[in-house]
Amino acid sequence: MNKKYFGTDGIRGRVGEFPIIPEFIMHLGYSAGKILAASDWHLAKGERPTVLIGKDTRVSGYMFESALEAGFSAAGVDVLLSGPLPTSAIAYLTRALRLQAGIVISASHNLFEDNGVKFFSSGGTKLPDDIEIKIEAGLNNPIQTMPSAKLGKVQRLNDATGRYIEFCKSTFPYDLDLRGLRIVVDCAHGAAYHIAGHVMLELGADVITICAEPDGFNINHECGATHITTLQNSVKQHGADLGIALDGDGDRVLMVDKDGTIYDGDVLLYIIAKHRQQKNILKGGVVGTLMTNLAIEKAFGELGIPFMRARVGDRHVLELLIKNNWQLGGEGSGHIVCLDKHTTGDGIITALQILYALRDTALTLAKFTQDVVLYPQRLINVNVPKGFDFRNDVTITLSTQQAESDLGSDGRILLRASGTEPLIRVMVEGRMKQKVDHWAEQIANAVQLAANLQ
């Protein structure tokens, strides 16, 4: 059975446009609550299942927090509210507090006009497909509020921030610190605005925190991992050793060095894997995605590190990690999973793993990655009608085949539909930038033409 609302990262869209409206979100909470209430949790007599609801800093979060709260309460489920907190913090606290589920209100790296809802299981992982399908099926049933004596209660989890800061710090070796390092941390005016800088500061770094003044509207706006220029400028301005850029919900991270060079998720994944191999603590291999730069795959091959590609999306990376009993995987966007540290991607914890590698080896980002030169990669997003299928179009197929023949074994082409927007993403990479740009534009034009003719 196909899912109607859940994508690769929950349910997401433009606020005020269905399904990102209060009525639907309340019904979503109710449906999820009924499924939780009907599950066998071995609760004490009279004890209700409990969920944790967190959010990022966008203004619509207040509205959807109230809607979810009402839906769960109507279903007889107790609710804890954390306020603004990174996605990965909700996953951690759900597991640490032995709760039945965690819910995050966020549109991640999108601007404030969007929002969404994603769920975590009691183990701090994304909900299985079958549970999401059951929640969607429950949306067909009307809300039938429990009797007053059985309504869920709601309260604030006042120490959520402190708990999560200590958890992040615990993933960094106790015999090392960050003294002597000047670090700029760009919080994207998002969920980590009151957390990321404190973590680095408490580990001894000299920290300059920027973009940490959310007003409900400025999340991800010309800052954070989606707009790295702000961090680059700040690192140079403050003479910092490096910079860390998070996204709005704190599960992604990119870094820059003192010269402003960008280190994306592919390179960060390489650093962590190579360091773990050096320390003889790398378990198995590494999972990337269909978008992982070909140079990274070749670099892992030279190190003798097994590498596999999953479909795009942290859910698929996690599935392949579990299947292979590996621990490390991630995406070029900076969403990296270290399963020995956390059950999901975490921007702060990933940054700490990089800082561990640098401190342990006394190397800079540039020195540690001097053997890796990423291939030029061009990504073009093509707007298409909903449901547009590019796979059977002759013109697109021909253009793709021509590109593959020209690029040879040192190039890759990937066409995929976005899981959250009506877009076809055209990605081309290879050794020669001129060829990469040419074929990306050729294929994108073919996709646009086919979409216009539909």
**Is 128 or 266 the better-scoring residue by pLDDT?**
266
pLDDT by residue (tens digit) across 352-396? 999 999 999 999 999 999 999 999 999 999 999 988 889 888 999
- Contacts (Cβ under 8 Å, ≥6 apart) of 246: 185, 186, 187, 188, 190, 192, 196, 224, 225, 252, 253, 347, 348
List phi, psi (to 5°) of 330. 175, -175
Among 198-207, 322-331, 417-426, the range scoring the smallest mean pLDDT is 417-426
Q: What is the pTM of this model?
A: 0.92
Instruction: Give the three-class secondary structure for 82.
Output: strand
Q: How far is it, in rounded angstroms, from Cα 165 to Cα 45?
A: 34
Q: Are 289 and 331 in contact, with CB atoms under 8 Å apart?
A: yes
Q: How far is it, in rounded angstroms, from Cα 424 to Cα 427?
A: 10
The DSSP bridge pattern shows strands 182-186 and 78-84 to be unpaired
Q: What is the mean pLDDT of residues 136-144?
A: 96
Q: Identify the CA nearest to 350 among candidates 280, 273, 296.
A: 273
Tokens representing residue 225 in the block: 């991992």
Q: Are 222 and 243 in contact, with CB atoms under 8 Å apart?
A: no
Return the percentage of the chain with pLDDT > 70, whole number.
Answer: 99
Q: How far is it, in rounded angstroms, from Cα 283 to Cα 296?
A: 18
Residues marked active site are found at 108
Q: Identify the CA nearest to 95 among candidates 125, 135, 128.
A: 125
Please check the confidence at residue 196 and state whether its pLDDT lies above 90.
yes
Q: What is the mean pLDDT of residues 143-158?
A: 96
**Is 38 or 441 the better-scoring residue by pLDDT?**
441
Helices (H), 127-178: 129-138, 160-170
What is the DSSP code string of 24-35? HHHHHHHHHHHH
List phi, psi (to 5°) of 430. 180, 180
202 burial level (CB within 10 Å; 0-12, 13-18, 19+): middle
Please check the confidence at residue 421 and state whether its pLDDT lies above 80.
no
Q: What is the mean pLDDT of residues 257-275?
A: 97
Q: How many helices (H) does the chain have, and how many strands (E)?
A: 14, 18
Mean pLDDT of the chain: 95
pLDDT by residue (tens digit) across 64-84? 999 999 999 999 999 999 999
pLDDT value for 1: 64
pLDDT by residue (tens digit) across 98-133? 999 999 999 999 999 999 999 999 999 999 889 999
Q: Are 445 and 398 in contact, with CB atoms under 8 Å apart?
A: no
What is the residue whose two structure tokens read 């020209």?
406
List phi, psi (to 5°) of 383. -70, 130
Q: Are 82 and 54 in contact, with CB atoms under 8 Å apart?
A: yes
